[in-house]
């Protein structure tokens, strides 16, 4: 019962976040590190990946692979999270105190554990 709740919560979180990549792409391109090429395309690709992963954890037939994909995505965006913590976002018009970005970093491990528990672990199948 708990895994099912966590799985549906995960699906809502990632699908909603993925949709936001298309509703407000400027928010994401502003915080992207300068060294990454084609920021708008990367925002779109990550949005599609979040939606696909979020929906993919629901059916048992795709759950495990969607979980692996979401973990790969969480690892792929981690450098951008570090970039926000180090450089802040005030200069791009997103007024969030830098300590919040630093506090957010450990939660990436929590998200990875959540995906593992809800989608990849054998009991999740």
**pLDDT 10s digits, 83-113:** 889 988 776 677 888 899 899 999 999 999 9
Decide if pLDDT at 125 tops 80.
Answer: no
Three-state SS annotation for the chain: CHHHHHHHHHHHHHHHHHHHHHHCHHHHHHHCCCCCCCHHHHHHHHHHHHHHHHHHCCCHHHHHHHHHHHHHHHHHHHHHHHHHHHHCCHHHCCCCCHHHHHHHCCHHHHHHHHHHHHHHCHHHC
- Domain span including residue 37: 2-124
Is residue 18 very low, low, confident or very high in pLDDT (cuts 50, 70, 90)? very high
Is residue 124 scored above 90 in pLDDT?
no
What CA–CA distance (Å, rounded) separates 88 from 81? 10
Domain count, the chain: 1
pTM value is 0.90
């Amino acid at each position: 019962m708990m895994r099912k709740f966590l799985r549906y919560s995960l699906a809502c979180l990632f699908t909603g976040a993925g949709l936001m990549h298309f509703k407000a792409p400027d928010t994401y391109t502003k915080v992207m590190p300068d060294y990454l090429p084609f920021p708008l395309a990367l925002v779109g690709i990550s949005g599609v990946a979040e939606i696909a992963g979020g929906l993919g954890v629901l059916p048992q037939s795709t759950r495990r692979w969607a979980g692996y994909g979401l973990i790969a995505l969480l690892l792929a965006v981690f450098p951008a999270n570090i970039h926000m913590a180090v450089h802040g976002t005030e200069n791009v018009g997103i007024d969030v105190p830098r300590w919040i970005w630093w506090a957010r970093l450990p939660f990436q491990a929590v998200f990875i554990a959540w995906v593992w528990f809800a989608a990849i672990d054998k009991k999740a199948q």
